[in-house]
Structure 1
Amino acid sequence: MNSLCARLVEDPDKDPRGGPGPRGGPIVTRTASGPTLEFWRAVLLGDVASVSRLLASPGSGLSPDVVFDTSDPERWREFRFNIRALRLWSLTYVEELTTPIHVAANRGHEQVLQLLLNRGAQPDAAPGGRTALHEACLSGHPACARLLLVAGADPDIPDQDGRRPLHLCQGPDALHCAELLLRFGASVDGRSEEGEETPLHVAARGGLVELAALLLRKGACPDARDAEGRTPLLAACSVSFLSPTEVEEATSRCLHLCHLLLSVGADADAADHDRQRPLHLACRRGNVAVAELLLSQGVSVNAMDYGGHTALHWALQGPPAALPCSPEQVVRALLNHGAVRIWPGALPKVLERWCEFPRIIEVLMNTYSFVKLPGEAEDLIPPEVLKKHQDFYSSLFALVGRPRCLKHLSRHALRSRLAGCLSQALPQLPLPPSLLGYLQLDFEDILY
């Protein structure tokens, strides 16, 4: 065990953050010996009695601010091997430089952390780029965060990536850590140094509804913009869904966040530097509930981003396999709020892309007075898809170049007349529900 290769160098003129500092600074390093290895083992396990004994042991030379250097890959591998041999391989803090208080804060060893602070460990030491407070918040240990704050840790200190502790409150017990930071003076709108994100941006992007609510209660700006011009509402709408299993929960959290932000006055139509708006992002991800919420706020349904794309374009360009819900509902909602129809010449491309979702084709076709498709359009659809949706595609291709039924033509004429106020006017018409649903493009799975 004495061969543990972790090079530690003693430099009394070095500041605990890694730069030059006053003589007598607590940076302690040397080649690991039996007591040093035993000390690190005790810190890793949270063995406060052993930590106390070793620190008090005469001649051990151990310090509460000893810095463990893992920057040499060969030595780090040997350290890792030895720790595994001790059955201690659960160290999660893997910065090149770490100290006992970082490990204790990261693992939630409150007693060890308190002991180290009592023995003079510097709460804002950051030899690896983060302070112990960053570690406590990142790992969700509010008790450790409180000990550090009481000991004088700076609640607004940035880490090596320019993020403040409040930006790292994303995991378990994030809410309690954030409450402590704010109580001890952390800036509720403190910016990260590179992305210029506020903690509210981080909470919105992570779907942390309770944390976002706390930040807003404490005065966070709902329309703060990051370096890309994104507001927290844009951050909430930009979340992608990685797997089908998380779709329902993620869409629900996104909807709650949007409700929360809009309730405190967030701009529902705010555009980033690329002129992308929340509606563009919601439609791109097929989030119909959020899209309908934004549309109810009167956002511009036909606003274009820098690429010339409207929300309808994004709804039709999103990857079909990644959409969290029925994409046809998003397209229908947009068309019922006055979205400009796509150019008829683009219909074959839509047909080819969305052939497995015939309801998208249906709702688009029902905004035209006639079906205009090239003769070879049927060849764009795989035979197995044609067979699966035989009734719909038979009705579609039977209407090419032929007049639609009178009922549809009446619907088209009425919708065209009310084009500027469809979403407000249609529900006010004294019509039975079935007829109102027809006017609002309810799905029939066939064209007439």
Structure 2
Amino acid sequence: MEHLINSLMQLTYAQLDAQRALPFKTVPYTGGNQNWSLLMPLSINRVSLSSSKTQSNRLLCAASSKLLYRSPENERRSKICSKFTTNDDTDIELIARVPENNTALTIVAYKLWIIRFRVRRKGSHFYWLLKSLLLSILCSTFDVCIFILTVGIKETHDDNLLHNSSSSGDVDTLQHVLNSGRVRIDCCDSEGTTALMLASAQGHFCCVRILVEAGADVNIRRKSGTTALFFAAEEGHLEISRFLLESGFDVVTNGGMALFIAAQGNYMTIVKTFLEVGCDPNYSMSDGAHSLFVAAQNGHLEVVKILLQNGADVSKARNDGATPLWISCQMGHASIVRELLLWGANVDEARKDGATPLFKASHKGHTAVVEELLEFDPCLGLLANGETALHAACLFGHQEIAKMLIRAGADVQLPNQAGETPLQLAEQLGYDSIINLLSKFIQPAKTVSKETIL
């Protein structure tokens, strides 16, 4: 390793000597056991350097300052440094300041929209490698920088050069990294995220194609079970989704989750594509939610229709017992409620706590949903949770729904499990309009017609 580092240092110094015609000045510095004769850009005077700074920090400031000297020749150097910053565990204090009270690297970040690359300490060789990297930045030796970053200084699992270039769509850097042969194309972070997943999520089709053609595994899953296709579908990237399907994606094993996220996002064309290739419409997530459930929950009527037409189970419940009908009633999606009922959904299918779709719609005040449900003769009596839909309407002051329920035959004097009638609940909460409505039905002295009052 030391021999390699010395060779790199000699190469970078040779490059420095070749660039003395540029607007630079020589700054002598003695550090450790070596004497340094650094070639600094003239713009270094924008950065305040004190004698207490480390060699590495001086080099970092020099590299940063050179980037501040903008010119067409600096584009490649900018691309290199835009992948570079230091991590907290490197012991390099970026304390050099400029008039705006920012570090040198902060200025570079602001100027170049820096993409962070964390350099991880690598034993006793770390500082030598860092010096070589910074000198390479100064000299614009692109290939040397790439070599150091991909070989000498190992990428961290959560933020490496391969991942950064894939996520940002930097095709040139990605190709250089892959051509070096020094990285594992399917290397992942602590959560299992790969470069292919990042490129897919960001919609960088060229990077996705390069990675797949270089051997990236399209079926790798993160710890959460998500795949590259999942991330592409989540953001609605149709072209990438189709490409991944054509590149050997296992729809039987992994397709259900991708369909789920596409249905949730209302990406109709992607949903159709996934169904055509055999993705399971009844695949359930860890909480029991499935494609039809999330489509109903989010009000995506057309997605609901195509899922039902392709075998989605209209009565399949989440782990808590909530069905697509139940959740659409809670959210107030009347058109979806009707569609599900026409496909045979049980109007009284309750959640595990005993709340029925009608109870939940009455509770939430969704008048149009209650109207749809009443056409399918739901239960108006005491439910498993010890309440009635009329109790729910009165408890939350929904007068119009109370009228609809009474018109449909709800018993205004039926007590709940606590022995309270709907009228008593309304009186406790001070809902005068509901009190007046219900009072008309409990006058013993005369018979009252519901049709007359309502």
Please state which band the TM-score falls in when normalised by the shorter chain.
0.5 to 0.7
Q: Distance in 2 between matches of 1:405 and 1:289?
A: 32
What is the identity, as a one-letter code, of the residue corresponding to 1:203? A
Shift of 1:100: 2.0
1:281 and 2:341 aligned: no
Q: Distance in 1 between matches of 2:406 and 2:90?
A: 62
1:316 and 2:338 aligned: no
1:343 is matched with which residue? 382
The one of 306, 312, 315 aligned to 1:266: 312
Shift of 1:350: 2.5
The one of 47, 50, 55 aligned to 2:76: 50
Q: Distance in 2 between matches of 1:77 and 1:207?
A: 46
The one of 167, 170, 189 aligned to 1:106: 167
Task: Quote the sequence identity (%).
Answer: 22
| SS of 2:315 mapped into structure 1 | coil
In the TM superposition, 1:126-275 aligns within 5 A as 126-127=188-189, 129-170=192-233, 172=235, 174-191=237-254, 198-239=257-298, 251=299, 254-275=300-321
Shift of 1:93: 8.9
| Contact residue 169 and residue 178 of structure 1 kept, 8 A | yes
Shift of 1:347: 6.5
Q: Which runs of no fewer than 5 residues in structure 2 stay unpaired?
A: 6-55, 97-101, 119-155, 414-420
Going from structure 1 to structure 2, the CA distance change for 1:379 and 1:395 (only over 3 Å counts) comes to closer
Q: Distance in 2 between matches of 1:360 and 1:115?
A: 66
The one of 372, 384, 391 aligned to 1:333: 372
| SS of 1:97 mapped into structure 2 | coil
| SS of 1:271 mapped into structure 2 | coil
| Contact residue 85 and residue 116 of structure 2 kept, 8 A | no
1:7 is matched with which residue? none
Shift of 1:225: 2.8
| Contact residue 84 and residue 117 of structure 2 kept, 8 A | no
Q: Distance in 2 between matches of 1:339 and 1:267?
A: 21
2:50 is matched with which residue? none
Going from structure 1 to structure 2, the CA distance change for 1:333 and 1:51 (only over 3 Å counts) comes to same
What is the identity, as a one-letter code, of the residue corresponding to 2:76? S
Q: Distance in 2 between matches of 1:171 and 1:374?
A: 45
Q: Distance in 2 between matches of 1:75 and 1:349?
A: 66
Shift of 1:171: 5.3
Shift of 1:366: 0.7
Q: Distance in 2 between matches of 1:213 and 1:48?
A: 47
1:414 is matched with which residue? none
What is the identity, as a one-letter code, of the residue corresponding to 2:447? P
What is the identity, as a one-letter code, of the residue corresponding to 1:331? V
Higher relative contact order (CA 8 A, sep 6+): 1
1:366 is matched with which residue? 407
| Contact residue 329 and residue 369 of structure 2 kept, 8 A | yes
1:352-411 deviation per Cα after TM superposition (whole angstroms, max 9, x unaligned): 4331x32211111112277436765653454xx64xxx6x865553343353438x4xxx
Q: Distance in 2 between matches of 1:134 and 1:93?
A: 18
Which structure has the bigger radius of gyration? Answer: 2
| Contact residue 140 and residue 171 of structure 1 kept, 8 A | no
Q: TM-score, normalised by structure 1?
A: 0.63
| Contact residue 51 and residue 112 of structure 1 kept, 8 A | no
Q: Distance in 2 between matches of 1:73 and 1:352?
A: 64
1:405 and 2:444 aligned: no
| Contact residue 203 and residue 240 of structure 2 kept, 8 A | yes
Going from structure 1 to structure 2, the CA distance change for 1:394 and 1:108 (only over 3 Å counts) comes to same
Going from structure 1 to structure 2, the CA distance change for 1:376 and 1:164 (only over 3 Å counts) comes to closer
What is the identity, as a one-letter code, of the residue corresponding to 2:303? L
Shift of 1:261: 0.4
Going from structure 1 to structure 2, the CA distance change for 1:67 and 1:73 (only over 3 Å counts) comes to closer
Equivalenced residue count is 338
Shift of 1:130: 2.1
Shift of 1:203: 1.8
| Contact residue 158 and residue 189 of structure 2 kept, 8 A | yes
Shift of 1:227: 3.3
Note the aligned Cα RMSD (angstroms). 4.3
Q: Distance in 1 between matches of 2:303 and 2:283?
A: 15
Q: Distance in 2 between matches of 1:264 and 1:376?
A: 48
1:85 is matched with which residue? 107
Shift of 1:81: 5.8
Q: Distance in 2 between matches of 1:82 and 1:287?
A: 54
Going from structure 1 to structure 2, the CA distance change for 1:348 and 1:127 (only over 3 Å counts) comes to closer
Going from structure 1 to structure 2, the CA distance change for 1:82 and 1:126 (only over 3 Å counts) comes to farther
What is the identity, as a one-letter code, of the residue corresponding to 2:259? L
